[in-house]
Amino acid sequence: MTVKLGVPSKGRLMDKTFEWFGERGITLGRSGSEREYAGRVDGIEGVELVMLSAAEIPRDLAAGRIHLGVTGTDLIREKLANWDMRVEPLAELGFGHADLIIAVPGCWVDVDTLDDLDAAAAAFRQAHGFRLRIATKYHRLVRDFLRDHGVADYQLVDSQGATEGTVKNETAEAIADITSTGETLRANHLKIMADGLILKSQATLYRSRAAELSNYDRSVLAELVQRLGVD
């Protein structure tokens, strides 16, 4: 058997993950063309590289299909209920930083806090006959956050595309999405709520609590963790 390491299959997250491992003497790379998802690992025996989308990695970790995986904090906590019982964070990697926030139209001058949003949502429902819509792809995290802060009279609408554009397109009144600089929000005339930070996310190396390990796998995993300096 081999220890399976899942990493993002493309983009900046893949490049930065390769760089992070390379700085620690473990070389990761594609073994085929840019269109193939086969990978290679040099610098340690017994480790297989599995190229996946960042969104697939949480579920593959939870199912035990991979032993280690690099993905965002936001994806782990959104996709896995009781995430800390299913995966173990080993190291924050220092890149892929993003904040999951709630934002409302900048013209809502009287809505700056979650208490204001709760009041605005109640007034919106009374005026329009349906609940204020918040566009997001982070349903679990947003629902839990708003419940904990006493916000009611809203509905979550799914957005898998350009979430910031849903307010302008009149398919939502507010959004909950990740942002790094806030520039796209400002370009779409949205403002982050003063207490609207749901989660600070970054790329993190996780270990599966469900993956089976032979004695050989355990020794390989122990060596890898030691080499990476994350034990």
Encode the chain (231 residues) as per-residue pLDDT tens digits.
799 999 999 899 999 999 999 999 999 998 765 555 568 999 999 999 999 999 999 999 999 999 999 999 999 999 999 999 999 999 999 999 999 999 999 999 999 999 999 999 999 999 999 999 999 999 999 999 999 999 999 999 999 778 989 999 999 999 999 998 889 999 999 999 999 999 999 999 999 999 999 999 999 999 999 999 986
Torsions phi, psi of 223, nearest 5? Answer: -65, -45
Integer Cα distance of 143 and 6 in angstroms: 29
Integer Cα distance of 230 and 216 in angstroms: 20
Amino acid (one-letter) located at 150 = G
Structure tokens at 228: 């990476």
Integer Cα distance of 68 and 88 in angstroms: 9
Burial of 212 (0-12, 13-18, 19+ CB in 10 A): exposed
